[in-house]
Amino acid sequence: MNNYKIAEICTITMGQSPESKFYNATGEGFPFLQGCATFGVMYPSFSTWTTHYSRYCESGEVLMSVRAPVGDLNISQDKIALGRGVCSLSMNNGNNRYLYYLLLSSLPKLKASSTGTIYESISKKDLERIELPVHSENNQQHIVNLMVNLRFS
């Protein structure tokens, strides 16, 4: 196991909110996440969609809350438009399920890197600098298989 900065192992896409005139509750456009309010145990549900967006994630990417609270995690099941309160992370080797478990086990470190006295948040630069203990690719898949078999998926 070696330590790597998040920027060395993943691509991070910070959300950016479209104007509210592009929001709807009728399912038109793409599902839209402004924050973690609709996060589930592992996958989000949606109450808002948008017909205009500039930041998005693909299916299977890790979703993370970057504003009050920092560190809530989910996994995207579809292409999702990302608002200011969330980011997506995609592991360079494609093992996003391992990344999900790695980040979940590193929540204290993620929260310790947040700033703000009233509302905590984390910037892309601060997120990129966080070092995590990363297993070899063979061990990554083994860990994912163990977690799935333990019904944590």
pLDDT digits (tens, 9 = 90+) for 93-128: 999 999 999 999 999 999 888 988 778 999 999 999
Mean of pLDDT over the chain: 94
- Answer whether 57's CB lies under 8 Å from 79's CB: yes
CATH number of 2-149, picked from 3.40.50.1980, 3.30.390.10, 3.90.220.20, 3.40.50.720: 3.90.220.20
